[in-house]
Amino acid sequence: MQYDSQIAALLAGTLARDAFGALNLSPTDLAASIKRPKDPKNGDLAFPCFRLSKQIRKTPPEIASALAETLTQEALVPIGISAVVAEGPFLNFFIARAELAATLIPSILDRSFTSPRTPVGKKVMVEYSQPNTHKAFHVGHLRNAALGDSITRLLEWTGHEVMPTNYIGDEGTHVAKCLWYMRTRFKGEVPSENRGEFLGDLYTKACELLSPDTLTEAPLPGVRAAKVLELKEHPSNAEWCVVKLEVAGGETPTVVVGVPAAAGGFAVGDLVAYASPGLRVAGKAVGVVDRGGVESTGMVLSESELFGKGPNTIATLPPTAGVGDQVAEVFRRPSVLPEEVGVLEEFSSRQKGVSEVLQAIESGTGDVWEQWKETKEWSMKEFRRIYDWMGARFDDYFYESEVGEESKALVRENLAKGVFVESQGAVVADLREFSWQGGDLGFCVLIKRDGTALYATRDLALARRKFEKFGVDRSLYVVDSSQSLHFQQVFKCLELMGYEQASKCVHVPYAQVVLPDGKMSSRKGNVILFSQLEAGLLENIHREFLSKYEGDWSGDEIENAGRRIAVATMRYGMLNQVHGSKIVFNLDAWTSKSGDTGPYMLCTYARIRSMLRELSVESSSEPIDWSLLKHETETDILAWLSDYPRAVERAAEQLLPQVLCVYVYELSRKFNRWYNLKECSVLHAESAALKAARLQLVDASGRVLKHALSLLGIETIDRM
């Protein structure tokens, strides 16, 4: 029975009377205000009367008292309420326990209570996981996979037709970097296992070689040595100075430097690092500007600007440098390259190599393209194994490589319609008129000047497929919160393109998983690979949970139990967070047998199954006397069990499995509290009738716990 909806209907009818101002209130609206009190002594459900005060022109406590007096037993009994009590501004409702148990427990045991809700006739696509091929799958990827899969399960249970899909990043610069390294640098043997992680290692090594700071301490192409010819005070700002330089080609630009002449740390005759107009330094364009009435041409770099660290004092170059020398060469790292090979020449050569691999992949023919297909399948095979391990389901896969040309054609089609515009050779969406988070949506670049389609472009084409081919009513994108602006831009573009379904596109953001010492990065290689996680997790679980059963359990049972505990550990740890909270991965805490962890829930369920195996009652034709379940812990469990459908619905509405994590933890905690009370013993119950009633309560608790965990993607274990 949905007590909140029944109470809301009763309240709506009562408030419609003249005594309460003949209010016309929606039962659905009233039901949303009905909550479970934190203290069970204050009833099972409570309705706050604050919202009625202005309309009825009485204080909330006065309204609560008047409603309590008006609601008679004749009205309450048919909806399973034994009493209603006014407590300050709250109207507290007490559920009739015997009647509740008599309807609730049998419905749990015959599975009607946990059966999926009535179909709502809506098709929802949940796109999640979205890993990149040629990169390693690591522990951080599990949050997305667990979240998307659980949202799929929640929506399906609440009556939606759900299509879980995966969008694989199988092309782009990261793929080209990996294959460039494999083709030009790798000399070893390709492993027979974990080839996806092997590719990820190659990608990390490629990124290291393609980072200019591996060749030079000053990775700033175009910045050159210049000689200080004059140094004088600024005419209007004592904190600045004016410097005349000798640069390459004999030119003598004047630069205003943001330090006093007397304390700048450099002098006439010194060599400094000079960035000419047109370059970019620290993300900012260098140009010709007026600074306090003095025209400043270019920029003299500080140590922090030149090296990415150090003080803000002007950097001086060694006297061995010559005017016009590239600072990248002046500060080249020793023994990294042969002396005759220039730093920038080598860096340009490496970048060119990556570009050639990328073009070869995009050509759709040749040995590089064949190698791309082969290595892509290495990654996909590994992804599929991981999804099987954790029980994640996908009905379809989309690939980035499938929508590249299609996406550019779609954008150009809408460019012709005037939806998008050209800007400096690129195709963009001008979204500045649309507000977002205190600012605006800005410009969304769709096709670069060189004809390259960007991620937003591909997402537009993919969304069209979802709308037209699959006929989805709602499209969810489970992607980390760093992409929030991206998706708001994509959704706005879809709206401008005329897709009504754009309003039904939803970004489900979440914060990233981090290590205790900071953020993980495949590019930097500071990640916990899935294979490492799996091995370490299974070793920990075997030591803490399963080693004592060797020789008693079969090898297959121990292996299966280990995997289920491992999956429960990871899924629960990843899901038991609000989306906006970063997760600091802590394996030891997550595998604890007690507290708010996956293993604790499995231990509780295994305890329940053990009780049902070891305890039994003689069959009897006598009906169960539910009124015997009257201890406060038993009535508390009953009330909590009755709230299960509401908890699932809330989790589905909010797209937040953490709501269900809170539910299962509380159910486990309430059950274990009851289990540890001597006066609530099942084995030593005062009568056979009480033992029978308690066993039914135990069975019902286990079934709801099992079902709730299944919606989190967690499989239970009968013994542990």
In a domain, 580, yes or no: yes
Please tell me the distance from the alpha carbon of residue 422 to that of residue 656, in angstroms, as a whole number. 40
pLDDT in tens, 607-661: 999 999 998 766 667 899 999 999 999 999 999 999 999 999 999 999 999 999 9
What kind and span of H or E run contains 507?
A: strand 505-508
Stretch 486-500: mean pLDDT, rounded?
Answer: 97
What pLDDT digit, counting tens, does each position of 144-157 carry? 999 999 999 999 99
Instruction: State phi, psi for 257 to the nearest 5 degrees.
Output: -110, 140
User: Do the Cβ atoms of 339 and 345 come closer than 8 Å?
Assistant: no
Identify the CATH number of the domain in which residue 313 sits: 2.40.50.140
Q: Which of 44-48, 172-176, 226-230, 585-589 bottoms out in mean pLDDT, i.e. has the lowest?
A: 585-589
Return the H-helix or E-strand segment holding 254: strand 254-257
Whether the per-residue pLDDT at 576 is higher than 80: the answer is yes
Pairing verdict, β 90-95 and 421-423: unpaired
Beta-carbon contacts of residue 16 (< 8 Å; ≥ 6 apart):
22, 23, 24, 25
Which neighbouring-strand residues pair with 248?
none
> Count of CB atoms within 10 A of residue 325's CB?
16
Q: Is residue 377 part of a domain?
A: no
The mean pLDDT value for 23-34 works out to 93
Per-residue tokens: 373: 């297909």
Question: What per-residue confidence (pLDDT) applies to 38?
Answer: 84
Q: Could you tell me where the DSSP H helices lie in 222-365?
A: 303-307, 327-330, 343-363
For residue 650, give the H/E element and its range. Answer: helix 644-654
Range of the structural domain that residue 592 is part of:
529-720
| 393 part of a folded domain | no
CA distances from 388 to 165, 519, 558 (A): 15, 27, 18
| Across 338-362, average pLDDT | 94
Per-residue model confidence as pLDDT tens digits over 544-567: 999 999 999 999 999 999 999 999
Domain boundary among 95, 111, 141: 95
Residue that has been written with the tokens 């004047």 in this structure: 254
Q: Over 90: is that where the pLDDT of 40 sits? A: no
CATH of the domain at 61: 3.30.1360.70
For residue 453, being part of any structural domain is answered with no
pLDDT greater than 70 at residue 524? no
Check residue 302 and give its pLDDT: 94
Which of residues 95, 124, 153 is at a domain's end?
A: 95
CA distance 266 to 276: 19
Same structural domain for residues 230 and 83? no
Lowest pLDDT segment from 248-252, 570-574, 595-599: 248-252
| 695: Cβ contacts below 8 Å, ≥ 6 apart | 611, 612, 615, 616, 617, 682
90 pLDDT above the threshold of 80: yes
Among 386, 645, 393, 340, which residue's Cα sits nearest to residue 529?
386
Note the pLDDT of residue 584. 87
Whether 59 and 53 have beta carbons less than 8 Å apart is answered as: yes
pLDDT of residue 392 exceeding 80:
yes
Q: What's the mean pLDDT in 565-574?
A: 96
Q: What is the pLDDT, as a whole number, of residue 521?
A: 64
pLDDT value at position 569? 96
Last residue of a domain, one of 65, 95, 125: 95
Q: What is the tens place of the pLDDT at every residue in 416-472?
A: 999 999 998 999 999 999 999 999 999 999 999 888 889 999 999 999 999 999 999
User: What residue type is assigned to position 619 of the chain?
Assistant: S
pLDDT tens digit sequence for 269-311 = 999 999 999 999 988 899 999 999 999 999 999 999 999 888 8
Please give the C-alpha separations between residue 450 and each of 170, 424, 427, 446, 711, in angstroms, as whole numbers. 21, 11, 11, 12, 47
- Sequence-separated (6 or more) residues with CB below 8 Å from residue 112: none
Question: Could you read off the pLDDT of 675-701 as tens digits, one per residue?
Answer: 999 999 999 999 999 999 999 999 999
- 557: in domain: yes
Strand partners, 295: 290
Which pLDDT does position 97 carry in this prediction? 87
| Dihedral, CA of residue 481, residue 482, residue 488 and residue 489, to nearest 10 | -170
In 3-state terms, the chain is what percent helix, strand and coil (to 5)? 50, 15, 35
pLDDT number for residue 620 = 64
Q: Give me the sign of the Cα torsion angle 305, 311, 317, 323.
A: positive
Residue 718 domain flag: yes
Average pLDDT of the chain, as a whole number: 94
Section 11-17 average pLDDT: 95
Determine the pLDDT at residue 587: 84
- Count: domains in the chain: 3
Banded model confidence at residue 522, pLDDT cuts 50, 70, 90: low
Q: Would you state the pLDDT for residue 223?
A: 97
Q: What pLDDT is recorded for position 367?
A: 97
Task: Give yes or no: residues 549 and 692 share one domain.
Answer: yes
Percentage of the chain beyond pLDDT 70 is 98
Residue 618 pLDDT: 64
Task: Band the pLDDT of 585: cuts 50, 70, 90.
Answer: confident
For residues 91 and 63, give the distance between their C-alpha atoms in angstroms, rounded to a whole number.
9
CA distances in angstroms from 609 to 116, 464, 541, 612, 699, listed in the order given: 24, 49, 21, 5, 8
Phi, psi of 659, rounded to the nearest 5 degrees: -60, -40
Q: Does residue 373 belong to any structural domain of this protein?
A: no
Residue with tokens 């059966």: 115
DSSP string, 534-595: HHHHHHHHIIIIIGGGBTTB-HHHHHHHHHHHHHHHHHHHHHSS-TTS-EE--HHHHT-SSS
Q: What number of other Cβ atoms are within 10 A of residue 225's Cβ?
A: 23
543-548-552-557 Cα dihedral, nearest 10 degrees? -30
CB-side neighbour CA atoms (13 Å) of 680: 20
Between 145 and 523, name the one with better pLDDT: 145
Give the span between the Cα atoms of 438 and 484, in whole angstroms. Answer: 14
Give every strand in the sheet of 81-87, ordered side by side.
45-48, 90-95, 81-87
Residue 713 and residue 564 share a domain: yes
685 part of a folded domain: yes
436-438-444-449 Cα dihedral, nearest 10 degrees: 180
In one letter, which amino acid is 588?
A: D
Give the residue from 336, 329, 349, 315 showing the smallest Cα distance to 220: 329
Q: How far apart are CA 652 and CA 650, in angstroms?
A: 5
Q: What is the pLDDT of residue 404?
A: 87
3-state secondary structure of 713: coil
For residue 472, the model assigns a pLDDT of: 94
Indicate the pLDDT class of residue 518, thresholds 50, 70 and 90.
Answer: low
Give 520's pLDDT tier (boundaries 50, 70, 90). Answer: low
Q: How far apart are the C-alpha atoms of 603 and 596, rounded to whole Å?
A: 12
Instruction: Name the region of 391 (left: φ>0; alpha: ψ -120 to 50; beta: rest).
Output: left
Start-to-end C-alpha separation, the chain:
34
